[in-house]
Structure 1
Amino acid sequence: MNRNVEKWTINRACIFIVLIFLCANTGRCLREGEDGKIDSPVPIVLWHGMGDSCCFSFSLGKIQEILQNEIPGVYINSIRIGDNVIEDVENSYFGNINEQIQRVCEQLSQDTRLQNGYNAVGFSQGAQFLRAVAQRCPDPPMLNLISLGGQHQGVFGIPKCSDTSRLCNYMRRMLHLGAYLWYIQESLVQAAYWHDPLKEDEYRKKNIFLADINNENTISAEYKDNLQKLRTLVLVKFENDTMVEPTESEWFGFYKPGQTKEIQKLQQSELYQQDWLGLRAMEVAGKLHYLSLPGDHLQFTATWFVENIIKKYLV
């Protein structure tokens, strides 16, 4: 063997051994590309919640800072819909969510740094929107999806609204009467995941988003197959959540059809028993993970996020 070639081979082997040692001892494993070069850590896509933006320093800007400190060199794409943060906030309330998701799919497909796959972290409504991305747009591939307070069975309640408030009861009646009007569905983002258990038939027929991604009308084999391509789907529930009603929606639970008192868990639902989305298969395969923590909506510490999300699923 040529001495230069032999030396190169030995050096490469030594580097490989060192990388294995570092991976085993730090948990920070780099990926090797097809050309033999060492790639950067798995990229991360973030999608914020209602009334938030991609880039506020006190919300997702802080999350991005934590991620970059814990995963040096990681590339982060924090989704922004609109030309600036103000438009991004407005678009979290107004617009057709299906059109927004399609726009995000196009943005992700054109991002060359995501082509080998990415991890996704969704905050509140951003979680179910990222699930829609996983189901509808498998290229580039989403590897792990972290849902922080996502409303995967929708909501049936006004945030921080008590049953004794006359204003809240009025708003609730208005949504009860008009949430499924086509122009409300196509112009108000939250209406697209408003799930009225007293009007299940109307919800399934007229809801333009949630009923579709949950395969509640026509079973899409593509949605089901694409979701099961995830390595893990992590569902984080906030036990004292005052924003999401019912809170169990964060674990795919919801009211039993026809009433608003009794909650059924995911495993008791048709969604699971008929396996419309493949969630039962994912659970059997160990891909479906449930986490919970005390506190209100999206109230978690940096330490909790590092220990329970970053180190377990993103590094």
Structure 2
Amino acid sequence: MRKFANFLKMEVNGVVVRSIRIGENSYDDYRHSYFDNLNRQVFNFNIIYKVDEICAQLKMDQNLKDGFHAIGFSQGGQIMRAYVQRCNSPKVTNLITFGAQHQGINTAPYCFNDTSGLCPIVSRAISSSVYVPWVRENIVQAQYFKDLKNLTPYLKYNKFLADINNDHDAKTVFDDQVVVPRESGHFGILGKEGVVDIQNQTAFVEDWIGLRSLYNRNSLVFFEMPGGHVRYFKIRFQMQIDYAWVRKNIIKYLK
């Protein structure tokens, strides 16, 4: 993240970059990317609501008081979207997400070059027990797991994605559709006859979370970044990013 922050400082004159850390150090932050509750976090015997904690961190930063651009990588994308939907003070001017799972995932995460041993544990737990209380409340990826062929347990037990996607009345709409993680980044899903873009979904038409309103005022923009998801995110604690692509397509939204 430090390399990306330095890249932004070089590309955007006078920009102040604030990185959000959950935990005391980089490994603690990495561990929280697998084991945590996206709605709450138990720390030193105090119950802290994770999104509320992020809201508090950002609200205390006087550099952000007049608004800021938010960038979220991978699951950080839906966490920052939750910030916008739940508090948004200070206000986000542009929300930019890279490879986020906005429509959830329907399979366990693929573990690529994970040397910590955390990812395989999480993957096995999700594959076998995603709705078991401890798993669904303490494994981050379980909190945006969404099998659209079997929405009943998702709607009953999921307290994060179902809330920020306003999904609780969606069962009859989605029963025959399956999430594909790539399309999930653009709020897309895979139907019986191929990909169903967000513009053709009931959630968009009925404007469940305001996406149609954003689209109608040309404030919703989608890009496809070359390469696979793991090319960019969390490989040996590093970020691998196509900076030339970001410079060409994204930097203009940060100025």
TM range (shorter): 0.7 to 0.9
TM-score by length of 1: 0.64
Query: What does 1:43-122 align with in structure 2 at a 5 Å threshold?
Result: 60-99=1-40, 100-122=50-72
Contact persistence 2:125–2:135 (CA under 8 A)? no
1:116 and 1:140 in contact (8 A); partners too: yes
List per-residue Cα deviations over 1:166-213 (Å, max 9, x = no partner).
xxxxx9896365212332121100100011112112211211110100
Q: What SS does the aligned partner of 1:272 have?
A: helix
SS, match of residue 251 in structure 1: coil
Percent identical pairs in the alignment equals 40
- Equivalent position of 2:93 in the other structure: 143
Q: What residue number does 1:314 align with?
A: 254
Determine helix, strand or coil for the equivalent of 2:221.
strand
| Structure 2 unpaired stretches of 5+ | 41-49, 112-121, 171-178, 233-239
What is the CA–CA distance in structure 2 between the aligned matches of 1:74 and 1:174, rounded to whole Å? 41
Render the CA deviation track for 1:127-174: whole Å, top value 9, x for unaligned: 11000000001211011000111110011123448xxxxxxxxx9896
Q: State the 1:85 CA deviation.
A: 1.0
Equivalent residue letter for 1:292 = E
* 1:279 pairs with 2:211: yes
Which of 99, 102, 118 aligns to 1:152? It is 102
Partner of 2:227, secondary structure, is coil
Which amino acid in structure 2 is aligned with residue 276 of structure 1? W
* Alignment of structure 1 residues 188-227 onto 2, 5 Å: 188-217=139-168
**Cα deviation per residue 1:67-124 (whole Å; 9 max; x = unaligned)?**
1111233111101001111111111110111122221111111111111101001111
Normalised by the size of structure 2, how large is the TM-score?
0.79
> Which runs of no fewer than 5 residues in structure 1 stay unpaired?
1-59, 162-170, 220-243
CA 77–173 in structure 1, closer or farther in 2 if over 3 Å, else same:
closer
CA RMSD of aligned residues (A): 2.3
In structure 1, how many angstroms separate the alpha carbons of the residues matched to 2:124 and 2:180? 15
Between the aligned partners of 1:185 and 1:92, the Cα distance in structure 2 is: 14
Equivalences, count: 219
The CA distance in 2 between the partners of 1:174 and 1:187, in whole Å, is 11
Greater Rg over alpha carbons, structure: 1
1:194-243 per-residue CA deviation (whole Å, 9 max, x = no partner) reads 11112112211211110100011279xxxxxxxxxxxxxxxxxxxxxxxx
Q: How is 1:198-277 mapped onto 2 (pairs within 5 angstroms)? A: 198-217=149-168, 245-256=180-191, 262-277=194-209
* Alpha-carbon displacement from aligned partner over 1:229-282 (angstroms, at most 9, x marks no partner): xxxxxxxxxxxxxxx9431001001234xx8x8542212222112210111121
Which among 59, 67, 82 is matched to residue 132 of structure 1?
A: 82
Q: 2:243 aligns with which of 302, 312, 315?
A: 302
Output the CA distance in 2 between the equivalents of 1:192 and 1:255.
20
